Amino acid sequence: MLQLAHKIFLYALAIIPIAILVYLLAMRMRNKAIKNFAEKPLFNRLAGDSSLSKKNLKFILLLVSLTLLIIALVDPEIGSHVENVERKGSDIVIALDLSNSMNAQDILPSRLERSKEAIEQMIDKLQGDKIGLVVFAGQAFVQLPLTTDYGAAKMFLEDINTGMIPVQGTAIGDAINTSADLFLQQDNSVGSASRNKAIVLITDGENFEDDALQAAKDASAKGIIIHTIGMGSPEGAPIPVGGSQSGFMKDKDGHIVVTKLDLNLLQQIAEAGGGTCVRASSSDAGLETILGQINKMDKKMISEKVYRDYDEQYELFVIPALLILVLDIFITERKTKWYQRLNLFGNHVK
């Protein structure tokens, strides 16, 4: 596997075409000056042993050497082998509500955006834990399988919005079941005595679709801990339409819909799942508290394949570059008999 240690130095390659352009312009100006000075036969006699071909050769050698040195600065590295790395950690699935009510702004900048910010902060603090992502509204879907690739987790998180799921609603039970199944797909130890799996449910708690409490009990029976984070306020807030502040969602009678946090349901789910329930605010999303609980869980050995021992390859470019520079030093711009015999640039050496 090849990687570039210092990609920023690739921009230095722009020097090469610039140098060629400057050299060609200089040669053009030189030829004009020669024509103004004397006729070509006369100038050749006056120039004596000066060789334009060798001047060009020296410039080409200099360009090749410079290119090799820039590549050396980029420092290509090759992963020599793949090995299994073991670490201790827990399995965590974030179940994030993407129903339209998560666009409400009783938590700033909105319930959903504050949730995404908090999840990203949580990812930054994970050490060896696997993380997965389930999104739900009227249905639940796996957005990211369990992984230790935290960069990928952040990338998937960035693209999440309430328009991703066509079926609206809040199916918390389906989200819990989908999250539990995600553990089962990647680990056959679900249901064991070891408690190293947790679901972090982030929602406003307005469940209209299924029996969320029963789903929590079923997950707990499999050894899965469920933590809940309530996004919103008991007073509630209207739901913006189309991202505009001038319009809000209305019911069939034309009244503005106000979405309220159902903290009571989330407390029951957390209790059934052996976890903790916290209420988020604009300044504190509650994930710090949940992360503290997760760190207290049992840890299991997590094995993964990674590339190790990246070997630096810069010397493969530095050494030839230096040799070419040394060669360039010893090549003069004067005509020599051996160079004429090489006949590199045509029938006659200039």
Indicate which CATH number applies to the domain containing 294. 3.40.50.410
Model confidence band, residue 206 (pLDDT cutoffs 50, 70, 90): confident
Model confidence band, residue 77 (pLDDT cutoffs 50, 70, 90): confident
Same domain? 102 vs 57 = no
Helices and strands, number each (H, E), in the chain: 11, 13
Same domain? 122 vs 39 = no
Residue 23 lies in a domain: yes
Same domain? 152 vs 290 = yes
Same domain? 120 vs 183 = yes
Indicate if the pLDDT at residue 41 is higher than 80: no
Other CB atoms within 10 A of residue 165 CB? 18
Residue 349 lies in a domain: no
pLDDT, greater one: 201 or 55: 201
Beta-strand runs (E) in 51-123: 76-89, 91-97
Residue 348 lies in a domain: no
Same domain? 317 vs 298 = no
Same domain? 26 vs 128 = no
pTM of the model: 0.62
Omega prior to 145 cis, within 30 of 0: no
pLDDT, greater one: 10 or 47: 10
Residue 204 lies in a domain: yes
pLDDT digits (tens, 9 = 90+) for 83-135: 666 667 889 999 999 999 999 999 989 999 999 998 998 899 888 889 999 99
Indicate if the pLDDT at residue 189 is higher than 60: no
**Which residues sit opposite 130 in a β-bridge?**
91
Same domain? 277 vs 317 = no
Determine the Cα–Cα distance for residues 243 and 248; give it in Å rounded to an integer. 9
Q: Please state the domain count of the chain.
A: 2
Same domain? 160 vs 112 = yes
Model confidence band, residue 43 (pLDDT cutoffs 50, 70, 90): low
- Confidence (pLDDT) at 329: 84
| Residue span of the structural domain in which 25 resides | 2-75+313-342
How far CA 64 is from CA of 61, 181, 301, 333, in Å, comes to: 5, 58, 50, 18
Same domain? 290 vs 254 = yes
- Confidence (pLDDT) at 350: 42
- Confidence (pLDDT) at 344: 46
Indicate if the pLDDT at residue 247 is higher than 80: yes
- Confidence (pLDDT) at 349: 40
Residue 95 lies in a domain: yes
Same domain? 216 vs 280 = yes
Percentage, residues of the chain above pLDDT 70: 78
Lowest mean per-residue pLDDT among 233-247, 299-313, 336-350: 336-350
Residue 350 lies in a domain: no
Determine the Cα–Cα distance for residues 161 and 170; give it in Å rounded to an integer. 15
pLDDT, greater one: 242 or 332: 332
Residue 328 lies in a domain: yes
pLDDT digits (tens, 9 = 90+) for 264-285: 999 999 999 999 999 988 777 6
Indicate if the pLDDT at residue 298 is higher than 50: yes
Same domain? 178 vs 153 = yes
Same domain? 117 vs 62 = no
Residue 347 lies in a domain: no
Percentage, residues of the chain above pLDDT 90: 37
Indicate if the pLDDT at residue 81 is higher than 90: no
Model confidence band, residue 345 (pLDDT cutoffs 50, 70, 90): very low
